[in-house]
A and B are shown apart, each in its own frame.
Chain A
Amino acid sequence: MATVGGVAGSVPGTPRAEPVGKPPPWRRFGNFARRNEENAWRGVAWVAVLLPLAALVFAVSVLAVKAWPAIRVNGWYFLYGRDWTYGNGYGAIVHTDGVAHQMGARFGAWAIIWGTLASSLIAIVIAVPLSIGAAFALTERMPTWISRPLGFTIEILAGIPSVVIGLWGILTFGPWLAHHVYPVIADHVPDVPVLRYFSNPVGTGEGLMSAGIVLALMIVPIIASTTRDLFAQVPPLPKEGASALGMTDWEVANKVTLPWVRSGIVGATVLGLGRALGETIAIAMIGGASLQIPHTIYLPFTTVAATILSQLDGALTDGTGFAVATLAELALVLAVISVGVNLIARVIVKRTGRVGAPVGGA
């Protein structure tokens, strides 16, 4: 009745009843936290997971807003044209469609976009076979005491900063290629129309081929370590069964292992492709910085990323702001290409799914 907890608490061995009234302040925070801890975790986690999406949307909107004047004036010529000129910086300012720009300014980015696509293509063509081959070598029948350190070295290669690779490329690798490899190729290539692209002049080592090889070196670790992990996850039973049936190692690899991991390799290749498309510093150092499509595969070129890096400050000298808007348009193009490639690859991986049912059932 009147004594709440009084009787119960005064008899030893009986539990105390709940106290009445508000708990003291120092307990209140603890209780609040305990009751709401789950909501706090959920709330913070929600905010955190929305941030990448918000950042992506923010980045694309900033680019679109900045690029809009240039998109209107440059039009489709931007995507197929080859003239890239800021116009007469020391001449008059003219207006097209209400947008001010320097007289004679004309921006066609096809040569630059081509550079990105070509260098990434070369990198993929070189890197994918090498990575798959190396992954095979590492996982099939190689003693652990070799494969572990070698695998680790490949992973280290993934972490080496691009500047360092670019430094080595421009100081050592590029000149070596230009003096010892390219002349050999160029002198022995038959004079057939398609292969003329590989003939002389061989340049100084700063060019499309050197950049492609260096890019390949950068994306090999990504593809190789992912592929190696994929190979390790292939269940041994189908492979052993195929071996028992008398298939050679190569046939096992070709008919059992590769189909099993095909979609995973596509995914890894796209990861590597994404890195190659966005690579800036190494290309800026070893690409040679020519705003035109090179005549031979050894000559200087440029990519979208390298152009943005090296031209941004120059673009700012255009007082009308048009050149900066054009660079924003270029950045938008690169963003669209890389996001597009990423999304297409995810669709491919989802569609093909887990290829290769377990051989022999189970």
Chain B
Amino acid sequence: MKTSMRAAWLTRGAIIATVATLALGSTLLSSAASASVKLPKSGVETPSGGTVTETGSTLMYPIFNLWASGFNEKFSSTTIQTAGTGSGTGISEAENDTINIGASDAYLSPSVVQSNPSLRNIPLAISAQLVNYNLPGVTAHLKLSGKLLSQIYQGQVTNWNAQQIASANPGVTLPNLPIVTLHRSDSSGDTFLFTSYLSKADASGWGTKIGYNTTVPWPAAPGALGEAGNSGMVSGCKATPGCIAYIGISYLTQTLQAGLGYGQLQNGKGQYVLPTSANIAAEAAGFIKKTPANGTISLIYGNINNGYPIVNYEYAIVQAHQSSSSIAKNIRSVLEWAINKNYGSDTSYLSQVDFQALPTKVFAQSIKQILNIK
């Protein structure tokens, strides 16, 4: 009896010891595995295979389509499923974890950050926004200030030959055409960018009354139309002579084909600036030092010489804690590939949508955020 009891105790002790060692060992191993994700020399990890789902910003939609083809060529095991549904959708679907990568032109709001502590916004590229108009016969790039745009979108300036527009554009024959303002009907990062510009340029007017967000209560301007997506803005403006619309720069080719002109916007220094790549780069350069590690910053209406005023980081909205490590690896791989200057951020891709690659410092910050996706 005694020997059997001792045997029982010994066996029990042996079992406990083995289990404990195994548990300790596996935690050590897994924490070791999750603690340091190392980037290979190419700068891009190999994905585990499968489908990575992306949805959101229509500004990013064209480049994500290009990236999807390019990425699948390099890693045939993994496909990217894209959709252009608006930045708001990108953010919310990423919040609910129903999508792997949400694309957004807008960074996360404090309330979203508070209720989703593991949600990240990771800058992927630098983009800009145009203000387009459909004025047949006007070939000049109209000078438009933030205050003027604010008045137009509030319905205070209703005709293209109004005195406010004419005095800013001497020498341009403006037609007698009612202004039809186009805005985004879906929850849009472009709305966020445009209203940020209006809020900063017209702080006492638009800034106080309406503010900025991915959806705003648009004032009742005569004939104001809502369109879905950047494509909707292009086709809607094309069909409406006298329209004015805010459209992302990745649709520049489409706007030119549709016969729409784009304006010179007034920046913080009072200069009227064209959306050339040099001017966009200048604006972005002025904010590099201020960009925090989490990428949350507005690049709009800076006090920068020759800086185009509506410039922004394009964000990937991702959950830092993924449900499985293979999904996390896929997402990391896609994002690393996208911002790498040899792959997704090569000029051959970005020039098709007039985007710019991230500056070195921001690139490093984004890589750090990406490596934390587990």
Contact = CB atoms under 8 A, between A and B. Distances in A.
Interface of A: 83-86, 88-93, 102, 104, 175, 201, 203-204, 206, 288-292, 295, 299-300, 310-311, 313-321
A291 B228 contact: no
Q: Rank and list the top 8 A-B pairs by shortest CB-CB distance, nearest first.
A: A314-B187, A316-B92, A319-B111, A289-B226, A289-B185, A313-B89, A319-B112, A85-B217
A290 B111 contact: no
Given A93-B114, A175-B239, A289-B228, A313 B93 contact: yes
12 contacts: A91-B110, A288-B226, A291-B217, A300-B224, A310-B228, A311-B215, A313-B85, A313-B93, A314-B214, A317-B187, A319-B112, A320-B115
Interface size class of B (residues with CB under 8 A): 35 or more
A201 B88 contact: no
Given A289-B228, A290-B225, A290-B226, A89 B92 contact: no
Contact of A290 (B96, B113, B214, B224): B224
A314 B228 CA distance: 12
Given A204-B236, A314-B92, A316-B92, 9 more contacts: A86-B213, A90-B213, A104-B211, A290-B226, A313-B86, A313-B93, A314-B215, A317-B91, A317-B92
B286 interface: no
Contacts of B239: 175, 204
Contact of A204 (B211, B216, B225): B225
SS class, residues of chain A in contact with chain B: loop
B220 interface: yes
Contact of A317 (B112, B185, B212): B112
A198 B210 CA distance: 31
A243 B228 CA distance: 58
B354 interface: no
Nearest to A201: B223
B186 interface: yes
A317 B109 contact: yes
Contacts of A313: 85-86, 88-89, 92-93, 186-187
B89 A90 contact: no
Interface of B: 85-86, 88-89, 91-93, 95-96, 109-116, 178, 185-187, 211-218, 220, 222-228, 236, 239-240
Given A300-B225, A316-B96, A317-B187, A204 B240 contact: yes
B85 A319 contact: no
Given A310-B185, A313-B85, A299 B223 contact: yes
A288 B236 CA distance: 10
A104 B213 CA distance: 12
Residue of A206, A310, A315, A318 with highest tally of chain B CB at under 10 A: A318
Contact of B111 (A93, A291, A310): A93
A88 B213 contact: yes
Contacts of B212: 90
Contacts of A316: 88-89, 91-93, 95-96
A111 to B, nearest CB: 10
A92 B114 CA distance: 11
